[in-house]
Amino acid sequence: MQNTLNQSILPYTAKVNDQNHLEIGGCDTVELVKKYGTPLYVYDEEGIRTCCKQFKDAFSAYEDVSILYASKAFMTRAICKIIKDECLGLDVVSGGEIYTAINSGFPMQKCYFNGNNKTPEELELALYCNIGRITVDNFYELDLLDKVAKNSDKTVDILLRITPGLDCHTHEYIKTGQVDSKFGFDLSQIDEAVYKIKNEYTNLSLKGLHAHIGSQIFEKNVYTDLIGILAEQYHAIYEKYEIQLAEMNLGGGIGVKHTEDEDPLSIYEMANVIIAAFRENIDKYGLGKLKLAIEPGRSIICNSGVTLYTAGSYKQVPDGRKYIAVDGGMSDNPRPSMYQAKYTAIIANKANDKAEETVTIAGRYCESGDILIQDINLPEISSGDIICIPATGAYNYSMASQYNRVPRPAAIVVHKGRSDVIIKREVYQDLIAFDVIPERLAKSGCSCI
C-alpha cells in the first residue's frame, strides 16, 4: 500500500543539502531564518498539493465524493487559493473563516458551515454568500436558522450533526463522537429533529447527516462502525418520513505522524475501509445513490508545515535536565501544554550531526508548563542554532496568541526554491492597535512621581 504524507514527519520536499542544512521546497532553512527571522512557520506548497491529490486519488474509487479541507487546522487567503486550485471544498466553523474564504475568491457552494453555536450574524453571512451546506448542531439552531432563512427568503440545505456514541482512542479534548459531547444531536433526538424539519421548518431542506468522532484517529474499525450507525438512521428516516437523504458526511480525524513511535494508517488504507463500508451499507439498507463527504484538515496540512526557532539561553540543572530555551513556545504552539502533544526536532544548521546529549526544549513564556519537547536526544546545541520542529502545520498558528505581549510569528510558503510570505510577522504596534485609553484615564495624573 502506497505511503501518504500523513505518515511522514518531515515535509514532502525536505532534504539535507551539501551544507548539512535542512532544506524545504528548495529553500535552505538557515537562509530563510536570515531573511525572515524566527519563530517562523514554513509551509511546503508541493507537499500540501500532493496530499490533496492523494486524498482525491484514494477516494476516486467511489463515484460521488466531496473532500472538504477543514480550514480550522490552518487558514489564510493563500491556503484557500491552494485548496481551490486542487479542487477541494472547505469546512468552515466561523464567520471569520467564511469571510476569509469569500475574500480569497473561494466558490462558496463548495463550503460547509459547521459549529455548535453559530451566531445569527454568522448564519446571515452564510446565507448571503450562498454557502453550500449548513450543518445544524442542536434544536436551538434549527429554530434560529429557519427564522434567519425566512427573513432572507431562502431555503437552506442542511445536514444534522449527530453524536453516534463512539469513543475513539484519542485525547479526551479532541474526542467529539462520544455520547457525552457538546456537539450534535444524540441518536435518540434525531427522530424529533427530522419531524420538526418536515412539519415545522419550511425553509430548511434536510440533505443528510454529519458525524465527526474526533481527531488523530489511528484505527480502522471506528469508521466502519460509524457508517453502519449512520446508514441505519438513513433507513429509519426513509421508512418513517419517506425522506431520501442524499449525502453522508463522516467528518475528518485521520491521524498523522508527529514522532517516530506514531504509526497512522495511510490515506489509501483509510479510504479503502471507508468506501467498502459505505458500499456495503448502501446495499444493506437500499439507500440508493449517496454522496460521501469527508473533512480532512490536520491530515492535509500538518506534515507540510514546520516551525523554526533560534536557540537562546540554556540551563543545566545539577544532577538533572539540561534546558534549551527557544524564542517561541506555547504562544505559537500551545498543543504540548493543552494536549500533551509530542514532537521531535532537528537542528536545521546541523541536520546530519549525531545526537550527543539529551535536552529539554523550553519556550520563552512565563509558565513552567511551556515545554515544547521533553528529553530529546540531539546534537550539541549552541546559542544561535536553528531548531526545527516538524509536523507543526496544523493548529499552531490557528491557536496562536499574544501571550506575554509577544507578537505572533510570520508564516511563509516555499516552492521550487522560492519563498513567499502568507502571514506577516506582527510587530509591537500590532499589539496595541486595538488598545484604547478612556478619556478619563488619559487626563488622570500620578502624584507619586
Identity of the amino acid at 60 = S
Rounded to whole angstroms, the Cα distance separating 334 from 400 reads: 7
Residue labelled with grid coordinates 505522524: 257
Residue labelled with grid coordinates 546529549: 357
- State yes or no: is 366 an active-site residue: yes
Rounded to whole angstroms, the Cα distance separating 345 from 357 reads: 13
Retrieve residue 24's grid coordinates.
Answer: 524545504
Nearest alpha-carbon partner for 207 in 179, 177, 243, 173: 243
Identity of the amino acid at 296 = P
Nearest alpha-carbon partner for 397 in 79, 21, 138: 79
Are 24 and 13 in contact, with CB atoms under 8 Å apart? yes
Rounded to whole angstroms, the Cα distance separating 271 from 268 reads: 5
Instruction: Output DSSP code: residue 330.
Output: T
Rounded to whole angstroms, the Cα distance separating 198 from 222 reads: 31
Report how many helices (DSSP H) and strands (DSSP E) the chain contains, helices first.
13, 21
Identity of the amino acid at 409 = P
Retrieve residue 284's grid coordinates.
Answer: 444493506
Beta bridge partners of 254: 217
175 conformational bin, left if phi > 0, alpha if psi -120 to 50, beta if neither:
beta
Among residues 87, 302, 366, 388, the one annotated as catalytic is 366
List alpha helices for 158-266, DSSP H: 190-199, 221-241
Instruction: Output DSSP code: residue 368.
Output: T
E-strand ranges in 83-234 read 89-92, 111-113, 133-136, 156-163, 185-186, 204-210
Are 42 and 412 in contact, with CB atoms under 8 Å apart? yes
For the chain, give percent helix, strand, coil, nearest 5.
35, 25, 40
Rounded to whole angstroms, the Cα distance separating 48 from 40 reads: 18
Are 234 and 288 in contact, with CB atoms under 8 Å apart? no
Rounded to whole angstroms, the Cα distance separating 160 from 140 reads: 13
The catalytic site residues sit at 366
